[in-house]
Amino acid sequence: MGSTAGKFIVVDGTEGCGKSTQARMLHERLSRSRGGENVLLVRDPGTTRIGEQVRSILLNPDHGEMNMRCEMLLYMAARAQMMAEVILPALGQGKLVICDRFVSSTLAYQLGGEGLTAGDIRLVADIAIRGRWPDLTILLDMPPQASLGRVKRAMDRIEQRPIEYHEQVRRNYLAQAEGDPAHYRVVNADRDPEVVHEEVLATVNYLLVTR
């Protein structure tokens, strides 16, 4: 996991599962208990000036011609900037970093596109993130038919893909958790947000006590 002193937690999941809400709730709760300056919330892609520009390119429905390898590399580019500019310095100061999406998203959304393998994605990711993988990834799980129904705004380029694609994304997420139970926890997101939050918080508190 690297030698940095802080803890790195990712909240991830399918479109509309509530990950941004849960990441924000977790940040607010831990900020109260640990001191606001010691807990940092970031989003992937984004957070940095460069990352936000890359995000706008990635999610713009006008960019329908974008191929999957370009898509994967753009996500990694934004990630590399955020790691260098924000996450690694914060971890080095002993802070707790909560990230809304991370490499786990790429391993779910771009896996298999144009022949991309998990090995390909992890190899590029390891370069982008300088080998600093999350200490814990919380996957908020629910059927895509239900989660996409929660998206009330205009859908972005990724959200507009067919339901079969999103069903495969869910399977890819669950396969990650099954393959690495030491660093993943699956939480049923198809419940009241407060109930989900309490389980997420308990999972994170257990990590902070035991590792």
> Is 2 inside a domain boundary?
no
* Residue 155 within any structural domain of the chain: yes
User: Which residues have CB under 8 Å from 137's CB, separation 6+?
Assistant: 9, 10, 11, 12, 102, 104, 176, 177, 183, 184, 185
Distance CA(80)–CA(154), nearest Å, equals 28
Q: What is the pTM of this model?
A: 0.94
Query: Tell me, what's the pLDDT at 3?
Result: 39
* CATH code for position 191: 3.40.50.300
| pLDDT score recorded for residue 205 | 94
Tell me if 150 is assigned to some domain.
yes
Output phi, psi for 164, to 5 deg: -65, -35
- Domain interval for residue 25: 7-210
Q: Is residue 36, in this structure, part of any structural domain at all?
A: yes
pLDDT band at 209 (very low <50, low <70, confident <90, very high): confident
Number of domains in the chain: 1
Is 176 contained in some domain? yes
Q: Which two tokens stand for residue 85?
A: 């500019």
Q: Is residue 54 part of a domain?
A: yes
Q: What is the pLDDT of residues 56-106, one digit of tens each?
A: 999 999 999 999 999 999 999 999 999 999 999 999 999 999 999 999 999
Phi, psi of 3 (to 5 degrees): -105, 5
pLDDT at residue 1, as a whole number: 38
Per the domain annotation, does 1 fall within a domain?
no
The string of pLDDT tens digits covering residues 121-175 is: 999 999 999 999 999 999 999 999 999 989 878 899 999 999 999 999 999 999 9
Question: What type of residue is 92?
Answer: G
Average pLDDT over residues 36-56: 96
Contact in structure between 192 and 18 (CB atoms under 8 Å): no
